[in-house]
Amino acid sequence: MNIKDLENLRDGQEVAELTGWVDNIRDHGGLTFVDLRDFTGLIQLVFDKSGDVDTKLKNEFYISINGSFKKRDATLINDKILFGDYEIEVTDLKIINQSKTLPFQIEDSIETDENIRLKYRYLDLRRQPMKVNIMTRSNTFKSIRSIMNQLNIFEIDTPTLIKSTPEGAKDFLVPSRKSPSNFYALPQSPQMYKQLFMMSGFPNYYQIAKCYRDEDSRKDRQPEFTQLDLEFSDASPELVKLKVEEIVKFVFSDAYDCKIKTPFNTLTYEEAINLYGTDKPDMRIEETIFDITDIFTQTSINFLNDILSSQGSIKALYTKELLTRKQIDDLDSEIKDLGSNGLGWFKIEDTTISGPLAKLLSDNEQSKLLSYGSGTLLFQAGNIKEIANYLDLIRRTVFQPLNNDVYSFVWIEDFPFFEVEDGKLQPSHHPFTSPKSNEIFKDDPTNATALHYDLVLNGVELGSGSQRINNPEIQTLVLEKWGLSKEEISDRFGWFIEALSYGTPVHAGFAIGIDRLIAEVLNQPSIRDVIPFPKTQSGLDPLTNAPANIEEEVLEEYNLKYINKDE
């Protein structure tokens, strides 16, 4: 019997073998009150003093009781819990298991170091907020499978021991005892296998997939994560986006009891950067970046002149709030930490303009700035790609969403095919993404656009997708432009290019980060709070102490040995 089953009882009926954890003990003279908690709820137990219950029980003891289900006195009703108008007068108590002294209290709100919570995750998960998080995760999976069945999309699993191929992050490698000196890799995504399903003649595919990336420590990243993986044959980006919108709309309604509007808005990558300073804009914030270059075309401010003569521009954000000097200094410090030379600003009060550059303004420049009215104008000057992230930080710091309870989705598309990282070309999505124009890609890959689309929710990238390359020659060319030699292409991707050579249909897909989706819906500060057993930011598991050393005898079976083990 569980606590929720008590709904079926009437006043005075007997309760038999109700089990749960002791949540709280209160001694009130001749009576002892104990709150009993299980997965389904909480109810008050009443003991008389003859049994010395207050000395026998402690918090988190697991007990079983028999008793009588009684309606509380009207003055003692607790409206905050499901059975706050009832209690159980206990006639028989059995202690099933005791508990050690707790490392932290099982309460809704606790101030405990996260590493302690992760070390005792089985206790942390007893707390009601964590239970809500994990049940929301379960309901998300149920809803996904429900809509996939309705859409007749096939759930197909893919291997988790695969060949190592470069996809951006580092692979987790798995040695093979039967093939000494050779390694499997854990998949960063099921990318190539889901494409193989389309080559195999399947019309579609989905999988709730575990993915693994051995990334450097980054905020709110996990070495293993869960994504909803999708692929469709004979599909364009438009078709995939329609399917994704249908899936997301259903999951929000079914799992989260929330209605969202479709179709979602769409921005090009260039529009997003120019208006919001990022390809992950929070559309709940109305204010956008605008260009004030024309105000300073004849300026006597030397550094602005230098930037404009180098084809740079001046981008600004305006707030009617008269920011304090401390607010401005704090913002200046934050963007300098990102690499900016500093925050440009003018404070406008009636007919007066103040700021470190105010005395250098011409009459014409002053007149144009005064037209904005009282407030603070914040700006950055330079190449938009270089100053965009500073403007994004300014926008997110100065302005707040009009409504935090709104879910604002936006598609970002027309990404550059390549990005330059450390002087090398890197695909902005992955090397299996199709160029928007094969001809432009062949002639000038650095200016080519990709058939790549991201879905952003409230400033968080929820997922990414693309139309895939289905031509072996184009696939080979992309890998060559990426910097791989013919030998490397043959060794790492030869089997995949071979598969493309047998009448591969046009196909496209998408993947949604489920951990991030749930964290955003539940307004959780970290995805670790919605994953049952997560790792720390540095990839450690305080619960099991993984990763751990392996005995040298075991390593020898894999033809491996430690080098400088003590380091």
What digits encode the pLDDT tens for the residues 338-390? 999 999 999 999 999 999 999 999 999 999 999 999 999 999 999 999 999 99
- pTM of the full structure: 0.93
Q: How many CB atoms lie within 10 A of CB 479?
A: 23
Average pLDDT, the chain: 94
Which CATH number applies to 3-97?
A: 2.40.50.140
Residue 165 pLDDT level (bands cut at 50, 70, 90): confident
- pLDDT value for 422: 76
For residue 196, is pLDDT > 80?
A: yes
**Token pair for residue 371?**
């037209």
Task: Please give the CATH architecture assigned to the domain spanning 130-258+420-553.
Answer: 2-Layer Sandwich (3.30)
Which percentage of the chain shows pLDDT scores above 90?
A: 87
From residue 106, alpha-carbon distances to 111, 176, 533, 542 in Å are 11, 43, 17, 19
Kindly state which CATH superfamily the domain 286-398 is placed in.
GAD-like domain (3.30.1360.30)
- pLDDT tens across 72-81, in order? 888 788 887 7
| Domain boundaries of the chain, sorted by first residue | 3-97, 130-258+420-553, 286-398
Residue 6 φ/ψ region, left for φ over 0, alpha for ψ in the -120 to 50 degree band, beta for the rest: alpha
- pLDDT tens across 105-163, in order? 999 999 999 999 999 999 999 999 999 999 999 999 999 999 999 999 999 999 999 99
- pLDDT value for 217: 66
SS3 per residue for 70-81 = EECCHHHCCCCC
CA atoms within 13 A on the CB side of 428: 25
Q: How far apart are the first and last CA of the chain?
A: 55
